[in-house]
Every structure is written in C-alpha cells, then in structure tokens.
Amino acid sequence: MLQDLGDAYARVLTDHRQLLRGRFEEHGGVVVDTQGDAFFVAFASAGDAVAAAVEAQRDLASHAWPESVTPRVRMAIHTGEPAQMGDGFVGASVHRAARICAIGHGGQILVSSTTRGLVDDKLPRGVVMVDLGEQRLKDFDHPEVIALLVIDGVPPVLTPPKTLEDQPTAATPFAGREEELATAARAVATAPPHERNPAQTLWNVARTRTLDWRQYVRVPGRGQLADRFHGLGLSIYATARIATGEDLRAELRNLGRTFVAAARDARDASELLRREDRRDLARRLARYREQALWDHHLQAADTVAKQIAALTALAEANHGFETEARKLESRVRSLRTRVFDARHDPQLVDELLRETRQIRATVEAVAVHLHAIHRSAVEAFAR
C-alpha cells in the first residue's frame, strides 16, 4: 500500500491509528506499545477487547479512505493469566496471542478458545462465531482451537488460517520483546482505574457469564441461533466469490441470501414471542369471557383469542425453522471448506452444486412458512 500510495500513505496510517486508538480507549483498553502500524493493547476483560475489535473493524470498513483504498487489519484476542516474576509477568500468553495473530489475514478477528469461552454467550449484536477448528501455532506443541468473528455489515474474510509452514518466524513486530511488554502490561493492570489483578479480572468475567446465563434460562428464545445463521449466511455469500463456475457462485449467493432472510424472520419471531406473554393473554381472555355482556367485551375476547392462536402458530413455525436449521448447520459449514477443495478438483463442483440447491430448497420451504406465520402474527397484534 505504501508503494501504491506514496505520500498519501501518511494520511491512511494516521486515520488508521486514530480509529483504532479511539475504540481501544472507549472500551478501557490501554496501548502498551506500538511498532509501525501494529498495536499491543491490554484490556480489563475479554468482553471489552471483543467489543473494541468489532467496532474498530466496522469503523475501518465504513471510513472514507483516500485514494479509494481500504486498509485490512488483522486482530487476535487471547485471555491469559501470566505468572509474576520480579517486576514483570512471564508466561506463554503474550506469545500465544502473537502466534494467533500470525495465522490470520487482514480484516479478520481471531479469538482463542479461552477468550471464546468468556464471550461466546454475550457477543455484541450482529456478531457470530465461526469455528475454524484446531490450528497449529509455531513454537507451540499443542494446537489451539480458533474461532473467527463474523460481523454484520463488514465483508467477511474467509481465507483459511495460514498453515504452520506459512507462518512467519517472527509472529509480530513485538517478537523478542515479550518480557518488556509483560512488564508494561503489569503497570497497566495495576494502575487506576482497573486496580485489579488478572485472577480477579477473570473471576469478575466468569461471574458476569453466570448472571447472563441465568437471564437466558429465564427468557428462552433470545435469537442466538438466528444470529448465528445470519452470520453463516453472510459467510456463504462471501465464499461464492472464490467458487469455481458461475452456476455454483450464483447458487451459493442465493443460499447465503436465503439464510440471511430466514434468520432475520426467525430473530423477529423470537423477539415477538419474548415480548408477548401468552399466559397474560390467556388470563385476559378468561376475564373478557366472564364479562361478555357487551359487544366490546366479545370483540376484545375474539381479538385476544386470535393473538393467542397466532403466537402458538408462530412458536411452532419458529421451532420448525430452528430444528431444520440445526440439522443443516454442519452441512452448510462444510460447504465452505469444500468450495476451497473444489478449486483444485473440478469433479467436486457438480456435487457441490446439487447439494447447495438441495439445502436451499429445504431452507426456503421452512423460511417461507415462517415468514407467512410471522406476518399474520404481526397483523394480529396491530389491531
């Protein structure tokens, strides 16, 4: 980019730094160090780090860049509890974060299994996790299970992580300076306003997860599945760009659109089911029937009865969509991997084309039904 832009590169780099620093500071992040266009940032919690990274990627995607260029920034998030030695911290956490970043590509946010466990059930709205499976990291004996954050409104980068052979020897510009950075990180962690040690931070995050889970149990159907499939639809649509053959590209785009539209209806249906209390409606219906002496009582009872019936039908349609979606999830996820394989094996293209059409027909059938039932339910409550 520097070679292409020449003097204009200075403005791009300045805007890039300002956008990222703004999001870091907004979520309590402290820049421990910088090297060139790279940042090393410490946050009080995994959730803060994820929120900052997601919003930073959205800012990068929507910013008016000069010369019509769009910098693509790779990010990695890992949560660790380093050991204290003297005035600093030592341990594998800093190295692991650097190595995870090294396997990524511009525009991606990769998270470790530790971070995923802390944030998986409370991701920002419009964000889903895509499981990339086990990935080998240079200088680590055991593979790390990596997940990719797919963000609604930001074009997903679905390039597979770099293989062990393709990973650079120096994972980041900070390679070789881990102890120095750990010392700086300790100063950040012990300074106001955080005033907490790593173990305390992790305990606070774990306690928040428990409360969120209890809330989820109290209020089922929050639309997590719909959000997951919205992101999956976006990823399938993006995968079409590298598919072999125009027919397969068109079918993958159609499948992606179908999933996004169906997920949106499922999310709206879940919201309506959560908002309207069917037990309260049943009590109101019983009361109107007992008081059915006047026409307006009869009309009110009829309206509430129709609303109860609409909610019941909507719950059944939404359950049908979720059941079918769960059955298809693994098949849809495998499509992306097989699209890459088909680039080197033309015989797989026809097989992929048939399966994509079959999956789309199945999803469309339940999605059309859900859309019609949801529209009827909305009309029932608009009266």
Q: Which of 181, 162, 147, 168 is nearest to 333 (CA)?
A: 147
Q: What is the mean pLDDT of the chain?
A: 76
> Contact, 40 vs 174, CB < 8 A?
yes
293 lies in the same domain as 356:
yes
pLDDT at 177: 57
First CA to last CA across the chain, in angstroms? 58
Can you give the pLDDT at residue 117? Answer: 92
Residue 210 pLDDT more than 90? no
> What mean pLDDT comes out for the span 194-206?
35
Which token pair is 77? 């998030």
Q: Are residues 74 and 197 in the same domain?
A: yes
- Residue by residue, DSSP assigns 262-331 as HHHHHHHHHHHHHHS-HHHHHHHHHHHHHTTTSHHHHHHHHHHHHHHHHHHHHHHHHHHHHHHHHHHHHH
Residues 154 and 250 both lie in one domain? no
Cβ atoms within 10 Å, residue 142: 7
Asked if the bond preceding 173 is cis, omega within 30° of 0, the reply is no
In this structure, are 185 and 278 located in the same domain? no
Please count the structural domains in the chain. Answer: 2
Which class for 264: exposed (0-12), middle (13-18), buried (19 or more C-beta within 10 A)?
middle
Residue 343: is its pLDDT beyond 90?
Answer: no
Provide the pLDDT for residue 378.
78
Q: Which residue has the higher pLDDT, 24 or 212?
A: 24
pLDDT at 312: 81
Regarding whether 246 and 184 lie in a shared domain, the answer is no
Domain stop point among 169, 197, 218: 218
In this structure, are 46 and 192 located in the same domain? yes
Same domain, residue pair 329 and 373: yes
Tell me what percent of the residues of the chain surpass a pLDDT of 70.
78
Q: Are residues 47 and 139 in the same domain?
A: yes
pLDDT tier, 201 (very low <50, low <70, confident <90, very high otherwise) = very low
- Cα–Cα distance measured from residue 44 to residue 26, given in angstroms and rounded to the nearest whole number: 12
Q: Do 142 and 271 lie in a common domain?
A: no
Domain that holds residue 273: 224-382
Q: Which phi and psi angles does 111 have, rounded to 5°? A: -125, 145
pLDDT at position 82, please? 65
- CATH number, domain containing residue 123: 3.30.70.1230
Of the listed ranges 105-114, 115-124, 287-296, the one predicted with least confidence = 287-296
Q: Does residue 145 sit in the same domain as residue 290? A: no
Give residues with Cβ within 8 angstroms of 259, minimum separation 6. 229, 230, 232, 233, 236, 332, 363
In the listed set 218, 237, 271, which residue is the last one of a domain according to the structure?
Answer: 218
The 10s digit of each residue's pLDDT in 134-148 is: 888 988 888 899 999
Residue 19: is its pLDDT beyond 90? yes
Average pLDDT in the 198-205 region? 33
Q: Report yes or no on whether pTM surpasses 0.85.
A: no
pLDDT in tens, 51-65: 999 999 999 999 998
Q: State whether 335 and 371 are in the same domain.
A: yes
Select from 164, 194, 218 the last residue of a domain. 218
Q: What is the pLDDT of residue 214?
A: 26
pLDDT at residue 236 is higher than 90 = no
What gap in Å lies between CA 267 and CA 50, rounded to an integer? 23
Predicted confidence (pLDDT) per residue in 81-100, tens digit? 766 555 444 567 888 888 99
Locus of tokens 């997860």: 209
With tokens 């849809």, the residue in question is: 332
What is the pLDDT averaged over residues 360-375? 80
Return the pLDDT at 198. Answer: 38
**Shared domain check, 231 and 208:** no
* 320 burial type by CB count under 10 A (0-12 exposed, 13-18 middle, 19+ buried): middle
pLDDT tens profile 280-307: 777 777 766 666 555 555 677 777 777 7
